[in-house]
Amino acid sequence: MASSSEFIPLRKKQKRASTGLEDNFVSSYMPKNPAIHPSSQDLLEKAVECRLSHGIEVKGERCPMPLSRFDELHLPASTMALLHSLGYEHPTPVQMQAIPCILGGRDVIVLAETGSGKTLSYCLPLCHMLPLFPPTLPGEGPRVLMMAPTRELAQQISIYCKQFVAGLRRQTGDPNPGGTLTKTSYSTLLVCGGVPKKDLLTEIEKGVDVVVATPGRLLHLSGEETLSLDQVAYLVVDEADRFMQGSLEDELRKVCEYRFITHRH
């Protein structure tokens, strides 16, 4: 029981009042697999042993079982091939725990060293998330927003993310007998200084699924109502500690004010 002086975020209070648990108000994107959804004492003990052996520390209730292999995620064949081509044979400790938590619909804060594999931890879940989101219509804002404090980092994330998004396809059209179905790819847009505004507007008019951005340029477009953030269902803030320095914190808060989520999955 929390003391009267303990700070408890309002949303956590709402969760406890409605469910008594720490789970988020979103459904799980995780493929049903008892190996990563501990439901017995044996599996819970196995999860503890796995975390200890890999130096993983967690805080939170009913934390999902760490991954052992990427194939437990039932990823598309193209994604598995991409992982192998990039040299990923087994998940790193941060990927082992972060990916199941993200796919479980949880709010996740990851603390890990540079080079530990954090970027893959938040990019790989897109393979399951994007197909579940409604198709982005022309002029609509993104379902996924990834933010970085610098243009250089945003560019790196965009290039990395595009590799995984490029292999995904969604079906559009009439699914009824006699109807026509077409497969289309998902779009990723980099929003930062150095990218011509005209090019950004052209892509936004088509409808974008994933936006990777620095806060300044993003605020400019959102303030002009050029880019809507009201469809965002998945928000990533890379190097969040750097956003707590100087004006970046104010910019991050302003972005979140624009991010009115109208539908949570």
- For 144-169, what is each residue's pLDDT tens digit? 999 999 999 999 999 999 999 988 87
Look at residue 223 in the predicted model and tell me its pLDDT. 84
Say which amino acid occupies 86. L
Look at residue 31 in the predicted model and tell me its pLDDT. 60
3-state SS, residue 190: strand
Across the beta sheet with 188-191, the strand order is: 188-191, 210-213, 144-147, 234-237
Look at residue 33 in the predicted model and tell me its pLDDT. 52
Question: Would residue 115 be called left, alpha or beta, if left means φ above 0 and alpha means ψ between -120 and 50 degrees?
Answer: left
Which H or E element spans position 157?
A: helix 151-166
Look at residue 174 in the predicted model and tell me its pLDDT. 56
What does residue 237 show for φ and ψ, rounded to 5 degrees? Answer: -120, 105
The residue whose two tokens read 């007998």 is 177
Domain 20-117: state its class.
alpha beta
Residues of the chain under the 50 pLDDT cut? 1-5, 7, 10, 13-14, 20, 22-25, 34-36, 260-265
Overall pTM > 0.85: no
Look at residue 2 in the predicted model and tell me its pLDDT. 44
Nearest to 153 by CA among 192, 109, 99, 189: 192
Topology of domain 130-258, per CATH?
Answer: Rossmann fold (3.40.50)
**CATH 3.40.50.300 intervals, the chain:** 20-117, 130-258
